[in-house]
Structure 1
């Protein structure tokens, strides 16, 4: 298991940074390699990414979400990984965003090469820098979702799978 953890200080209040992170449709604007993120259910997202010249799609489940503090997810398909993003207030107008990714080892040559070259680490660092630039440039969030998720394991076909997807304003 490889672990990557990086932080960045952002010149917006923690509430603004957190609210922006809940706007998955904007991820392609600041995450390298992310082509599209669809929120198919309240706690389920579908990702379309471009990795090493290949299109890779996977579903991820949000298993914990605490407004202004933390969001944690688990990929349900390869590339298997878990991630946590935390938000720490530094003062009223600044916060620290920390992104932690834990990825399972892969047996594929392309994935081993990418890990060796530090591609994932560079993408995490670049994504945090671009998130900072994006949210500071906006000066406010493009939408909000203040819902909480705790230990949710929503799976297609489960009794929770019919929950409506929250809608967010876009800007």
Structure 2
């Protein structure tokens, strides 16, 4: 498994950033490739994702550690992905959003297509950075 960690600082309160992360239905606004997303109760979410010219339906389990402001998630089928978002207050009106993604590059390539090796890792890094910037815009404009 490869691990990627990125962060972005947003100009909103910790509570507002936390609430924005839980608006699963809005993920298509800031997560590249997500065409549709919805919560399904019981800590589960369903996403319709398009990447590399392929469309996939993904189910995920979501676990909140609310007191720590950490949201962990993992897919329940192929491809096996897992990650987390952790929020840390910078001050009363600014929050750091830390994203962590664990994935197997070969599985991601086989599932969604795309480049091999270092090129794929670089592409995933760019995608996560871009998604965090889109989350920043989405959260600050809400």
Provide the TM-score with structure 2 as the length reference: 0.88
The 1:38/1:114 distance shift into structure 2, 3 A limit, reads farther
Moved more, 101-110 or 55-64: 101-110
More strand as a share of residues: 2
Aligned position for 1:141: none
Q: In terms of Rg, which structure is larger? A: 1
The yes-or-no answer on 1:41 pairing with 2:45 is no
2:138 to 134, 139, 156: 134
Aligned position for 2:97: 97
- Give secondary structure in 1 for the equivalent of 2:77: coil
Write out aligned runs for 1:14-29 (5 A).
14-29=14-29
1:56-86 Cα deviation digits (max 9, x unpaired): 1111001343157110011111221111000
The yes-or-no answer on 1:113 pairing with 2:122 is no
- Give secondary structure in 2 for the equivalent of 1:106: helix
Aligned position for 2:13: 13
Provide the TM-score with structure 1 as the length reference: 0.74
Specify every segment of 5 or more residues in structure 1 that has no aligned partner in the other structure, as ranges. 139-171
RMSD over aligned CA atoms reads: 1.9
More helix as a share of residues: 2
Task: Give the deviation of 1:104 after TM superposition.
Answer: 2.7
